[in-house]
């Protein structure tokens, strides 16, 4: 009532601030959409050696697993690390152990020739994703590590990918070690690249949707203030 001119100035100032933010959100959406096209275009090449598997009976999401780690003829009665990533780019490393004696392992350690190593966090047996059993004279153990439990293990493998790495399974009864095959290490590295692409695609889609929602909101605010 006392300062009507100031009230109109405030309204004009708010409208300008909305217009500035609207321009920023349009720019953000345009950037996300352009980068998204690039990442989506690279997906077929990164995914070509992986198969998508989804057991809807027990899991809400599916996983991309390298073909070299799917065919049982390549992996029967051996200890190895299997990499997989879900559709959102979240990755996991499963330790498969097979031998004539149990070790009840709950950690994995990667060790370089110079003695440096990186060790995962502990993942106890739960009877579901992490379990063990005996088949005849052979003992089998499966332990799945998510990104948090891996504790920079993948990054360590990448830093030393040109060296001969050793896998140490840290168990309650005893430890067991074996050489990480070059082929298995390459699969893990290829899986990480696929994980990055999937993670970027999902992030960019979400950022683009968020920018579009803000654009709609700001347009409504500008239109409403113009009418009043």
Quick check: 168 and 120 in contact, CB under 8 A? Answer: no
Tell me how far apart the alpha carbons of residues 152 and 158 are, in angstroms, rounded to a whole number.
10
Q: What does the alpha-carbon distance between residue 211 and residue 165 come to, in Å, rounded to a whole number?
A: 45
Q: Any residues with CB less than 8 A from the CB of 67 and at least 6 apart, and which?
A: 49, 50, 51
Q: Is 74 helix (H, G, I), strand (E, B) or coil?
A: helix
Three-class SS state of 143 = strand
Angle at CA 219, nearest 5°, toward 215 and 222?
A: 140
Phi-psi region of 77 (alpha: psi -120 to 50; beta: other; left: phi over 0): left
| pLDDT digit string (tens) for the chain, length 228 residues | 777 778 778 888 888 899 999 999 999 999 999 999 999 999 999 999 999 998 887 778 899 999 988 866 667 889 999 999 999 999 999 999 999 999 999 999 999 999 999 999 999 888 677 889 999 999 999 999 999 999 999 999 999 999 999 999 999 999 999 999 999 999 999 999 999 999 999 999 999 999 999 999 999 988 877 655
């Amino acid at each position: 009532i006392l300062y009507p001119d100031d009230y109109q100035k405030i309204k004009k100032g708010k409208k300008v601030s909305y217009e500035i933010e609207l321009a920023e959100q349009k720019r953000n959406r345009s950037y996300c959409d352009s980068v998204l096209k690039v990442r989506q275009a690279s997906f077929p090449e990164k995914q070509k050696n992986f198969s998508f598997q989804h057991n809807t009976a027990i899991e809400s999401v599916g996983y991309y697993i390298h073909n070299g780690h799917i065919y049982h003829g390549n992996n029967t009665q051996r200890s190895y690390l299997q990499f997989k990533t879900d559709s959102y780019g979240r990755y996991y490393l499963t330790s498969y152990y097979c031998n004539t004696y149990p070790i009840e392992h709950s950690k994995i350690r990667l060790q370089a020739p110079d003695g440096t190593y990186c060790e995962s966090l502990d993942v106890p047996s739960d009877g579901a994703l992490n379990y063990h059993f005996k088949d005849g004279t052979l003992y089998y153990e499966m332990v799945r590590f998510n990104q948090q439990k891996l504790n920079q293990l993948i990054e360590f493998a990448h830093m030393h990918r040109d060296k001969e790495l050793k896998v140490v399974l840290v168990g309650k009864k005893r430890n067991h070690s074996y050489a990480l095959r070059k082929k298995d290490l390459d699969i893990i590295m290829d899986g990480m690249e696929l994980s990055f692409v999937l993670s970027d695609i999902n992030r960019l889609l979400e950022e683009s949707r968020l920018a579009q929602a803000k654009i709609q909101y700001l347009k409504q605010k500008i239109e409403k203030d113009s009418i009043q």
